[in-house]
Amino acid sequence: MSTEDRRDPLQQYIGEVKSYLPRKAREDIGEELKAHFEERIDELRSDTGTEPEEQDVVTMLSQHGHPLRVASSYQGGKRTLVGPDLYPFYRSAVLAALAISTAILVVLIVVDLSFGLDLGDVSRIWMFVNSYVYIVGIVTMAFVATEYFLSKHSYLESWSPEGMSTPDNPIASAWGAIFSVFAAFTWLIILNMVEMEHNFAVLMGVAGNPFHTLVFWMQLQLLLLIPQYITLIFNQSWSYFRLGLRTVTELLLLSGCIVTLTMDDSAFRTRNPDLPERLFGVFDMVLIAMIVAVGISIAWQWRKAWPTLRELHGGSESAAEADRDSGEGDGEDRSDEYPDREFGADDNEAATTDAETDGIDKKSGEKNSLWGSVSKLFNSGKDRTQQGSDGTDSVAGETGTAGTANDAQERPDSVSGALDDDAASRLVEAREGLEEETDGGSDGVAHETESAASDPADADSVGGDEAVSVESMAAGFGEGDAESSLAEDGEDLGGGEVQGIAQASQESEEGETVSEQSGDKAAAMPAEETADGAKGELRAAEFAEQAREEAAEQSKEEAGEESGEGAREEGLSGEAEGGEVGRVENSEGGGEGAAGDTTGGATGEEAVPDSSGDTELEDPEDAPTEGDQNSIQGNQTESDPAEADTAARAGETDTTESEVSSSAGDSPAGESKGDGQDSQSLSSAAHGEENLQTNGKKGRGRSSKKRRKKKK
Amino acid sequence: MGERQEAMRLELRRGVLVLAVLTALRSEQYGYSLRKALQAVGIDIEEGTLYPLVRRLESYGLLASRWSAAEGRKRRYYQISSRGEDALTMLNLEWQRLSESIHQITETVK
């Protein structure tokens, strides 16, 4: 640049801009800028008609902007060390660290001035500058590294709401965690400025310098504490591990205080006679205050964390217990999932899953709601049964909860007219057996149908076809049984199937008995079968075999003693009503029957299989498949004799249990099958299921109506 | 117009500057003439913004440039590249969509 150029404001300006530019692009941009300004000068010349003066050029350049800014605008790429995402945290972290370090240093200086201490060769101002440089540098490096890490792994781009952590009772906010990290860092940096040895003698107070001993313990505590704070930034949830580690960390400082307080510092005092005695007095008071503060801190943490952890842990135990009781389909011991689980980010996902499968909302704090739901179901089952016994408000199928094993045990007076203790206990066993056999895959369905079975009123929460089918199936069973009226046993079992009873009364004086029993069964069984039809049928098959044997014995004993005329009539009528219609409808209920057989066989309550289904059986081997499909899908629209057979088998099983019986030992249905030993149970089955199926739709309709009424 | 409103206006315009520049450079222009061309259609863009923008687009491969001496003066000419044409097509579509959307929402609110 010539001397003339130096005087030329344009050349000076361009030279200034170029000096801020990278060498590579310097000349090119300079040339372009020069060309641009020459164009502008030409424009000025043409506008005014005169040669522009230097002042005009200066004005033009001033409008163009400061050379630094112009040069900066040409430089692309990342232009910040800490980006806008992290900058608010960076700023607060720097401010927090500086504020804390200032406060600490001020305290140290006050102590220094008060006690005439020699802080070494570190002047007070230098202490400030030194600590600030350290702190700002470390904070900046930490944020730059964080920014680089986040950018490299696209952390802020590849996130998912599922991984979000919003614990109900957080340890701290993320902002607070960041503050804590840098506060702890600051404190550690300042402590590291103390010139001291780090050895076991100092740590245990043998070296005699109480200040160094305390500082050593504090450094150890901070080294343990800072990683905890860092993890706290990303996850603020309590866990047993975190609580334990935090307690250990606090105890570390507590130990340091106690060691320092109890150590023998006489030698140190002797070596430092200049130190005033009251300094040690104040130091001891500070140590005592620290011990108290640490104790309070530990207590506070436990007080804050323990309810959450207990709730979480207790919830998991309850859930696991409820799982065991309810026989949900995953077959996993979920209690193992919770103890080490943190109630936060990961738990949201887990909670969501649990909520989906269990129908509970962990986020709303109802972590024990599964067990609560089970209890509620039992209670509601009792209420409904009582209602039903009053004859005021019950449709056969809606007495659903009566079908649960536990409830059966709890309501001996209502059901155990036919369901004796043995039956109740078998009911429990069967239920447990069903749980064991139920595996994953249909987990969600198992849950849903389980609750539906236990409480039809909750079926809505399950939603969809399962809920409807469960209730309608239950209704079908109830009314079918009522109409079948096989039983001659006149015991009032206290069931709630008003309609079933009413219909049964028209056809049989003892219809109530079976109606109620079967109503109970019907409520519980189909639902469970819906949960896992295949398993249920397998189970049913086992019980069916067992039932055959028992039924054979009973039928031999009872067949000749009790007349069974009524049942026979019903059986005949059932068959008469059956026919094609009965067959279709029976098959329609095949899935239900299959469903029923699972629980029915299991519970030992059921006594109403369908003989027509049995007699129509063409290919029993197909039964599980069909039954499975229907029951799982909750679809009872297809006619399948095999399913009916499954139902019949279940009925056989149940007959032995409930003794519905009474009397139908010589049922034509049983004879038609040519299975004399099953005559009693088969006859029951004939009327029960056949009529049940015949009236299945009707039952559903009534059930639905009734239910709508209830809802209203 | 307050500062904030001015900032919002500039932010809105900044978003469409690339579209305007690419469109204008379908015919070859040098920096000063480009600015004048944009100014002529109502897009007044600061020099300190335009030149860096053009160079950035060139570095992206959306523009091609060459130095040429004309009228006794050395100038750097820019013109859209094939890659720039693709980008321009995409931006045009997006612009039309946005315009249509704004129109619709404006009509809806009316």
User: Tell me: the pLDDT tens digits for A79-128?
Assistant: 788 888 888 888 888 887 888 878 877 877 777 777 766 555 455 666 67
B59, A73: Cβ pair inside 8 Å?
no
B60: CATH: 1.10.10.10
Q: In sequence order, what are the residues at sequence separation of 6 or more whose Cβ sits closer than 8 angstroms to the Cβ of residue A389?
A: A414, A494, A495, A496
Strand pairing category for B73-80 and B63-70:
antiparallel
Residue pair A693/A387 in contact by the 8 Å Cβ criterion: no
CA distance B31 to chain A (A): 7
The pLDDT assigned to A304 comes to 82
Q: What is the DSSP letter of B78?
A: E
The pLDDT assigned to A544 comes to 53
Angle between helical axes of A277-326 and A210-234 (0-180°, round to 10): 30
- Averaged pLDDT, A27-55: 87
- Averaged pLDDT, A424-450: 43
Q: What is the DSSP letter of A589?
A: T
Candidates B48, B52, B74; nearest CB to A31: B74
| Stretch (H or E) spanning A552 | helix A533-558
Number of domains in chain B: 1
Residue B76 with chain A: CB contacts under 8 Å: 31-32, 35
Provide the b/e sequence for A591-622 (b: ≥16 CB within 10 Å): bbbbbbbbbbbbbbbbbbbbbbbbbbbeeeeb
- A411 and chain B: CB distance < 8 Å anywhere? no
Residue A18 with chain B: CB contacts under 8 Å: none
- In this model, does residue A285 exceed pLDDT 60? yes
A40, B32: Cβ pair inside 8 Å?
yes
Q: What is the mean pLDDT of chain A?
A: 59
Cα torsion angle, A64, A65, A68, A71, sign: negative
User: Tell me: the pLDDT tens digits for A636-655?
Assistant: 333 344 444 444 344 443 43
- Identify the band that residue A396 occupies on the pLDDT scale cut at 50, 70 and 90: very low
User: Tell me: the pLDDT tens digits for A373-393?
Assistant: 434 444 444 444 344 334 333
A-chain residue closest to B55, CA distance: A74
The pLDDT assigned to A434 comes to 46
Structural domain containing residue B51: 3-109
- A70 and chain B: CB distance < 8 Å anywhere? yes
The pLDDT assigned to A77 comes to 67
Between A41-50, A196-205, A270-279, the lowest mean confidence (pLDDT) is in A270-279
User: Tell me: the pLDDT tens digits for A667-700?
Assistant: 333 333 334 343 333 333 334 333 333 343 343 4
Say whether B80 sits in a helix, a strand or coil: strand
Strand partners, B76: B67
User: Tell me: the pLDDT tens digits for A509-566?
Assistant: 443 434 344 444 434 344 444 434 444 444 545 555 665 666 556 655 554 444 444 4
A–B interface: beta-carbon pairs under 8 A: 37
With CA atoms as reference, report the closest residue to A268 among A214, A192, A190, A187.
A214
With CA atoms as reference, report the closest residue to A531 among A437, A599, A449.
A449
Candidates B31, B48, B74; nearest CB to A65: B48
**Helix/strand/coil percent split, chain B, to 5:** 65, 15, 15
The pLDDT assigned to A84 comes to 86
User: Tell me: the pLDDT tens digits for A402-416?
Assistant: 333 333 333 333 333
Q: In sequence order, what are the residues at sequence separation of 6 or more whose Cβ sits closer than 8 angstroms to the Cβ of residue A318?
A: A367, A368, A370, A371
User: Tell me: the pLDDT tens digits for B25-66?
Assistant: 999 999 989 999 999 999 988 888 899 999 999 999 999 999
Q: Which of residues 12-31 of A touch B (CB under 8 A)?
A: 29, 31
Q: In sequence order, what are the residues at sequence separation of 6 or more whose Cβ sits closer than 8 angstroms to the Cβ of residue A684?
A: A484, A486, A487, A514, A567, A607, A608, A609, A651, A655, A660, A661, A664, A667
Residue pair A596/A606 in contact by the 8 Å Cβ criterion: yes
Residue pair A459/A471 in contact by the 8 Å Cβ criterion: yes
Between A71-85, A147-161, A433-447, B59-73, the lowest mean confidence (pLDDT) is in A433-447
Residue B70 with chain A: CB contacts under 8 Å: none
Domain ranges of chain A: 3-73, 87-305, 375-611+660-711
Angle between helical axes of A533-558 and A623-633 (0-180°, round to 10): 120
Say whether A266 sits in a helix, a strand or coil: helix
Q: In sequence order, what are the residues at sequence separation of 6 or more whose Cβ sits closer than 8 angstroms to the Cβ of residue A499?
A: A395, A396, A478, A479, A482, A702
A36, B49: Cβ pair inside 8 Å?
no
With CA atoms as reference, report the closest residue to A384 among A410, A402, A364.
A402
Long-range contacts of A125-130 (CB under 8 A, 24+ apart): A127/A193, A128/A101, A128/A102, A130/A193
B32, A39: Cβ pair inside 8 Å?
yes
Structure tokens at A504: 């049964």
Which residue would you say has higher pLDDT here, A285 or A107? A285
B49, A73: Cβ pair inside 8 Å?
yes
Max mean pLDDT range (A96-110, A253-267, A484-498, A693-707): A253-267
Structure tokens at A571: 């059986």
How large is the greatest C-alpha to C-alpha distance in chain B, in angstroms? 57
Q: What are the strands of the beta sheet with B73-80, ordered from one edge? A: B29-30, B73-80, B63-70
Residue pair A562/A663 in contact by the 8 Å Cβ criterion: yes
Strand partners, B75: B68
- Identify the band that residue A314 occupies on the pLDDT scale cut at 50, 70 and 90: low
CA distance A35 to chain B (A): 6
- Distances A573 to A617, A661, A662, B78 between C-alpha atoms, Å: 20, 17, 18, 98
Structure tokens at B39: 């100014």
